[in-house]
Amino acid sequence: MNNFRKMILKLIKFILKAIGALLIIFIIFNLGYMYYLTDRKDAYLIKETVFQYKDFQKLRERFEDCQANCSEPAFQVQLHRLVPGAGFIFAIREYNEGTIAIDDEGFKKLTIWMPSLQLGEHKFGTDGIKGYFTAGGAAWPENSCGGEIKEGVLNIIKIESNRTEIEIIAKFICSRKNGKSEKEISLNNKYELSDLNYNEVSPWIGKESEHIYEETYRR
């Protein structure tokens, strides 16, 4: 009888340990999965840098006629490409890994150029500020929506040695390449930007690349 009782107790302990181990694995998996789904954000201030392409409207009008090998951009996301020049770039990038499904990763890119860096409010359209926004699926750049920010306010709250804090309040229309679908985007966000040298700019941030996916996937 004692041996049988000991066997039962051992079995109960084994089951409890197994349940505990499974519970720990379940918690770790869910925490990892939640982290996996969290948007990854990159926010940089890049000095002495400008948009590679400046006339957004004209470039958008040429999207439809642009073939695979084109000297000008064929996708919205390419309008965020950067080159050295006079002024300051705010590069804000968001990336979502998606779920366990294939090719459902998403991205958002917000790029703003201004000629000088000064504290206070600056208005899009009147203070020489240019901004462009693009959002879509990383695997489907041709279906992303994009729009120039023509109205709104950029408020530079703080400028430190390696940290700049800004606030953006704006509304604009985000249109797809084919012009058949558009939606209004509202921004009312604050960002803390780290300084980034131009030679550290990656295709994800704004360097021109040979393959478009290098600009839509966060590598």
pLDDT tens for residues 9-41?
666 776 766 676 666 665 555 444 444 455 689
**pLDDT value of position 27:** 52
Q: What is the mean pLDDT of residues 103-121?
A: 94
Which range, of 5-14, 79-88, 105-114, 123-132, averages the lowest pLDDT? 5-14
**pLDDT value of position 58:** 80
187 bridge partner residues: 170
Is the entire prediction scored with pTM above 0.85? no
CA dist 206 and 3 (Å) reads 72
* pLDDT tens-digit readout, 113-129: 999 999 999 999 887 89
Name the nearest CA neighbour of 76 among 136, 172, 143, 146. Answer: 146
**pLDDT value of position 35:** 46
Structure tokens at 48: 């002495």
When the pLDDT of each residue in the chain is averaged and rounded to a whole number, the result is 85
Statement: residue 164 has pLDDT above 70: yes
